[in-house]
Amino acid sequence: MDKIYLNKYILSYSDILNILYYLEKTSNKKLIRENTNCYTTFNYKIETFKIGNGKNHVLLIGCTHGCEIITTYFVLEFIITLLKDEKLYNSLKNKFTFHFIPVLNPEGYVIVSSNLSCNYKNITNKKLEEISKKYISLYNTDDFIATHNIKEKKLFLGIIKNNLQNLSNISLRKSVECILKKCNLNEDYLSIWTANGLGVDINSNSIHKFKEMKQLRKAQKYANLRYNDIPVTKPSPMSYPGIKTFKDCPENFFLYNYIMNLYSLNCDEKLIAIFSYHSTGGEIYGYPDMLCTNASQLNLQLKGMLEYSKYTNYKLINEKLKYGVMDYYRIKLNDVLTLTIELSRLNGNPIAPLSNIDTFNKEIIANKKAVIHTIENII
């Protein structure tokens, strides 16, 4: 648990799949690939895996937002740790079954990582740190300028060289090109793409408070801070919720069915916790909508948040409008701890968290421990 197994941080979508398939093949049936048979609009299969045979089921979700590549890295590192750390595996395998969705948003991941891979395919970690440092510094300057309500060309966009041609899936490329054009944005914005290939943000395409969220976006018109030139009321790189829940968002529909399936397991089997990963901020979102929550669920959420923060020191956030995709499950599922974790304290997707890899690794280790510690304490 105290070490990092995966020392490569810029991974293309096919790198991710190859690692997972290789692990499955060589794991002696410890890692099982599930067959969900669910596909995104542009035909990417949403892959899920599981480890363990315990009656307590736990779900880890990475990459709801395309540019949050470190969340997929974390899920992968977590899987590898369970497979390689014999002692840990043996202590957990009969108590828990871990389920993994390493990439909930394959299209978003492909849009961002195709360009990152072309830029930094064989980069050393030292060089990656240097570039990421520069990136975060410009990013912060952009934020500073944006707080004065100024819309000018963003400095951070010049660092990663993006090109639509790096997207090999032609229909996905055409869709993205069309969205950028209609938003009056250029290819530079590919590296901060959070939505799916149709420009719908999975997190905003929520079940809970969807109407309120649409109203909020209508009032906002554009995204926050350094993203103040990105529209949020039509298909765009980020924060557009779509026309209605599940529409143009098969990823969200898949997630709903996958979670409900785990929730309805019979006999002794029980879904006990869901951890949905985002970046960045070093925060924990777990306060449920008080109006729709019973006391025991609220207590579980509070306990889970406190346990998780013991290892990470992440801040507990009680946001006013609870519209995110996990907010529905926080109130709908009884006795299931449902947390949304913002990995990394460094702002600036996709690469800023990698500006100090040593610190990043320590945070990843802390989060691995936090998951294990939290689930051990809620059963």
Among 161, 141, 158, which residue's Cα sits nearest to residue 150?
141
Closest to Zn ion by CB, 217 vs 278, is: 278
Backbone angles phi, psi at 185, to 5 degrees: -120, 160
Nearest distance in Å: CB 69, Zn ion: 11
Task: Tell me which H or E stretch contains 111.
Answer: helix 106-120
Distance in Å, CB of 200 to Zn ion, minimum = 14
CA pseudo-torsion sign 284, 289, 293, 299: positive
What is the rounded distance in angstroms from the CA atom of residue 352 to the CA atom of residue 29?
Answer: 36
Give the range of 207-215, 254-262, 272-280, 309-317 binding Zn ion by CB under 5 A: 272-280
Smaller CB distance to Zn ion: residue 51 or 63?
Answer: 63
Q: CB under 5 A: which stretch of 31-39, 156-164, 278-286, 348-356 binds Zn ion? A: 278-286
Q: How far is the CB of 282 from Zn ion (least distance, A)?
A: 13
Q: What's the number of CA atoms in the CB half-sphere (13 Å) around residue 112?
A: 27
345: contact with Zn ion by CB under 5 A: no
Per-residue contact flags (x/-) with Zn ion for residues 35 to 74, judged by CB under 5 A: ------------------------------x---------
| Tokens linked to 18 | 């190859």
Residue type, 329: Y
User: Least distance to Zn ion from the beta carbon of 86, Å?
Assistant: 34
| DSSP 8-state class, residue 34 | E
Tell me which stretch binds Zn ion (CB under 5 A): 102-110, 230-238, 273-281, 299-307: 273-281
Candidates 30-38, 178-186, 232-240, 277-285 — which segment interacts with Zn ion by CB under 5 A?
Answer: 277-285
For residue 39, the minimal CB distance to Zn ion (Å) is 22
- Select 54 or 324, whichever has its Cβ closest to Zn ion: 324
Taking the least distance from each CB to Zn ion, the nearer of 99 and 278 is 278
Alpha-carbon radius of gyration of the chain: 20
Spatial contact of 58 and 373, defined as CB atoms under 8 Å apart: no
CB of 263 closer than 8 Å to CB of 48:
no
196 touches Zn ion (CB under 5 A): no
Which CB atom, from 178 or from 321, has the smaller least distance to Zn ion?
321
Tokens of 83: 């497979």
Binding span for Zn ion by CB under 5 A among 16-24, 129-137, 271-279, 286-294: 271-279
Q: How far is the CB of 275 from Zn ion (least distance, A)?
A: 14
**Cross-strand pairs, 32:** 50
Q: How far is CA 203 from CA 43, 148, 230, in A?
A: 20, 28, 17
Query: From the CB of 132, what's the least distance to Zn ion, in Å?
Result: 18
302 token code pair: 């509070």
Residues of span 198-257 touching Zn ion by CB under 5 A: none
Q: Tell the smallest beta-carbon distance from residue 326 to Zn ion (Å).
A: 11
Q: CB neighbours of 195 closer than 8 A, spacing ≥ 6?
A: 65, 66, 105, 108, 201, 202, 235, 236, 237, 238, 239, 240
Nearest CA to 281 out of 303, 314, 252, 322 is that of 314
Nearer to Zn ion, 58 or 67 (CB): 67
Choice between 307 and 342, CB closer to Zn ion: 342
Residue indicated by tokens 């979508």: 13
- Spatial separation of the C-alpha atoms in residues 246 and 200, rounded to whole Å: 10
Cβ closest to Zn ion, residue 66 vs residue 250: 66
Q: How many residues does the chain have?
A: 379
Residue (104 or 375) nearer to Zn ion, CB: 104
Coil, helix or strand for 80? helix
Q: Which residue is nearest to Zn ion, using beta carbons?
A: 278
Reduced to 3 states (helix: H, G, I; strand: E, B; else coil), residue 45 is: strand
Stretch that binds Zn ion, among 109-117, 158-166, 172-180, 276-284 (CB under 5 A): 276-284
Nearer to Zn ion, 65 or 322 (CB): 65
Contact between 278 and Zn ion (CB under 5 A)? yes
Binding site for Zn ion (CB under 5 A): 65, 278
